[in-house]
Amino acid sequence: MDLHKNDDEEELPPGFDTDERYQELSNFFDTPLNISEEKPEKTNKSKKKKKKRQTDSKETKKLALTVASFFVSLLSVVCGSILIYVCFFLDTVNYDNKSIDFKKDRDVAKEENDGSSESIHIDADSVYPIRDPMVLNVIIFGVDRKDENENGRSDSMICVSIDERHKKLKICSILRDIWVKIPGRSSFDKLNHAFSYGGRSLAVMTLEKALGVVFDRDIALDFPAFVKAVASFGGLPIVLSEEECIYINRFSGESNYLKVSNGEKNLSGKQALCHARNRDLPKKDDKGEERGDDFARIIRQQEIMTILLKTLKGLDVRKVAALLSNIGPSLTTNFRKTEILRLLCNFEKYVNYPLERYFVPETNDYKDGFRRGMSVLILNDIYVTRRKFLKFIFEDSIKEKSGVQSSPG
């Protein structure tokens, strides 16, 4: 029996002394301390990772902003260059609204003039000229003048129709020798003389009364403008016969002669003008029929217009505006600047419309005549000719025929 043992002292289990228990307790209480000391280290690592992520995010945003700024700057340069070309072209054109009848005029630049897909019915027998808000009719006068101060004569008259209702582009040549009544004149006369008597205004009025359609806008360009236009396109690629080559070499005034052979040639501005005015050599029409005189000439003119339109298909707005700026000073029109700008904006859509061609009058709708010492075309029935023209322009919008009036003497 151990006399030194205290009765209150706890008896330790075998193999467990006081020092060992102390060490265990010490280790137990040291553990939380060690954990609390490691927390700041882990927090610092987390902060470093978070800071790195924030840095990476800032760098990514900075890179994105840099790329976006580059493309915005590039877009601004492109748009700016296009705007410069367009504005330059718009400022070169001669604007003259004297030929506008403001009582019936519309702003062709306004979107509401595009109308709707709903069908309309047009009375071809109306005594008033008619229009469709979805069809823009523009009459182009090719003017032959020897003096800048004179009106000259409308050597060619071509109606260009942008038909948004049927999604088509149409061109119709109107023969200049048609025998018609010119407003304000005491007797009938040749159609192209209206331009000589009263310029674009009287010419448009005469055409509207004769053909029964409203020409929304008109353009007059002289021969030098046509020569510049062809030069701007880099020439006119066109297939010619040997006889046509000889004719051009003889009458164009171009020093660089064409090789006389059948096949494709690239005509200069002067050569293209000579070819467009050629009425001496017969020409086959779309049906393969050989036509002579003025019909041969309008077939050539339509062929030239078709080639130029095909060339335009591969160009953007900037290049088109640059080309047009070369002929702007030679153009006179009653288009407004806003209207031209809208046409340019929709230019790619319009030039890709299917192209249809027509001429007035048709082969069997006239007879050759001789009046006051002039060779003229006398219409068999002006109302039949008018109805056929309106049918070409407005298609299924024309009402069924309600009656035919007799032609004026």
* pLDDT, greater one: 153 or 98: 153
Lowest mean pLDDT among 76-85, 97-106, 220-229, 325-334: 76-85
In terms of average pLDDT, the best of 63-77, 156-170, 216-230, 324-338 is: 156-170
Give the H/E segment covering residue 382: helix 382-394
Q: Tell me how far apart the alpha carbons of residues 298 and 52 are, in angstroms, rounded to a whole number.
A: 76
Per-residue pLDDT reduced to its tens digit, 98-109: 666 655 566 665
Residue 132: C-alpha distances to residues 204, 209, 349 (Å): 18, 17, 19
Q: Which CATH superfamily is domain 93-237+266-397 in?
A: LCP protein (3.40.630.190)
Per-residue pLDDT reduced to its tens digit, 196-248: 999 999 999 999 999 999 999 999 988 888 898 898 888 999 999 999 999 99
Q: Can you give the residue ranges of every domain in the chain?
A: 93-237+266-397
Residues 6+ apart with CB under 8 A from 124: 130, 212, 386, 387, 390, 391, 398, 399, 401
Check residue 405 and give its pLDDT. 42
* pLDDT score of 27 more than 50: yes
